[in-house]
Amino acid sequence: MAAAPGHRLPGVPRPLRVGIQLPEVERDVRWPEYAAMAHAAEDAGFDSIWVGDHLLYRDDGRPERGPWDAWGLLAGLAAVTERVRLGPLVACAAFHPPAVLAKMAATVDELSGGRLVLGLGAGWNRAEFDAFGLPFDHRTSRFAEAFEIVRRMLGGERVTLRGSYASVDDAVLLPEPARRPTLMIGSTGERMLSIALPHVEVWNTWFDAYGNTPEGFADLNARIDRAVVQAGRGPGDVERSACVHVALDPSADGRPIDPACPPWEGSMDRIAAGLRDMAAAGADEAILVVTPITERSVRELGGVLRLLG
């Protein structure tokens, strides 16, 4: 069974869940540091930890770089944590055959004891598609077929589908999963939303889609309300998750800073106030994307969580 909208983990009374994204390509990070940051996030009181799902970045004016495989990291993180929800932010449905992706997600959910949030999207970074020999055309149509296979298999169905881009023949997940992971869509595209919103529990947006401000999020959230209704559901049926760029040290290695979408800076009090404003704007969850993203930063931001109560 999927988690019901509004689900809170035991012992987490805050009205706004707060997660944190672990390093992607900000710098070279090895497994022991990922594990240490995951432990720090649990100790600090974060509700969730997330990893990006990419293969390679190049041709963007910066040095060529790439992250570790997201699903390998998630499996490791599932084994070294006990409480936090965890997931890809978000998994590219085009990187794996959809039935294989469903198998991978079911395995990570089993390893974590039901803590996986399966965020899904269609992908956008053409350079990594080309480098790894993956088709970049008809991304939304490909996503639609992949999403149907993944969600139905994770829902316990035996699936046969012969599509234009993906086909399965009596595909089934065995051992049978104990539950279906929570499904999350990471997109603002109208067609993508129409495909996913009838089925998902959570919608997520990156900070640059709303200008990294509570006011911008409120405007985007109102559009998502309308899209949820058009999908035949009530606005309260789909949780809202927003990534928030926070710079504890803007001069450190981290996400590029866009002057049109500046990160939050300032004291823990100011960051906490911004998160309260995000909750008032309709966010059920805020995922902090932090510059710099280090174990020290994770522990420092525990002060924000204490201020939120």
Phi, psi values for residue 127, rounded to 5°: -60, -40
Q: For residue 10, is pLDDT > 80?
A: no
**Tokens standing for 180?**
């279906």
Structure tokens at 109: 């959910």
Which of 20-34, 67-81, 94-108, 253-267 has the least mean pLDDT? 253-267
92: three-class secondary structure by DSSP: strand
Q: What is the pLDDT of residue 256?
A: 84
| High-pLDDT (> 90) share of the chain, % | 90
- CA pair distance 3, 39, nearest whole angstrom: 24
CA-to-CA distance for 184 and 2, rounded, in angstroms?
11
Which of 7-11, 127-131, 247-251, 276-280 has the lowest average pLDDT?
A: 7-11
End-to-end, the C-alpha distance of the chain in Å comes to 30
Question: For the segment 137-157, what is each residue's pLDDT rounded down to a tens digit?
Answer: 999 999 999 999 999 999 999
- Over residues 261-277, the mean pLDDT reads 96
The DSSP 8-state label assigned to residue 295 in this structure reads: H
| Residue 12 pLDDT > 90 | no
Q: What percent of the chain has pLDDT over 70?
A: 95
Segment 187-217, tens digit of pLDDT:
999 999 999 999 999 999 999 999 999 999 9
pLDDT at residue 169 tops 60 = yes
Query: Looking at residue 3, what is its pLDDT?
Result: 36
pLDDT confidence of residue 14: 53
Query: What's the mean per-residue pLDDT of the chain?
Result: 94
- This prediction has a pTM of 0.93
What is the pLDDT averaged over residues 250-264? 89
Q: What angle do CA 132, 136, 140 make, to 5 degrees?
A: 135
Q: Are 153 and 109 in contact (CB under 8 A)?
A: no
For residue 235, give both structure tokens.
């606005």
Given a contact cutoff of 8 angstroms between Cβ atoms, the answer to whether 273 and 266 are in contact is no
What are 55's two structure tokens? 């293969």
pLDDT at 1 exceeding the cut of 70: no
Please tell me the distance from the alpha carbon of residue 275 to that of residue 85, in angstroms, as a whole number.
Answer: 19
In the predicted structure, residue 9 carries a pLDDT above the cut 70: no
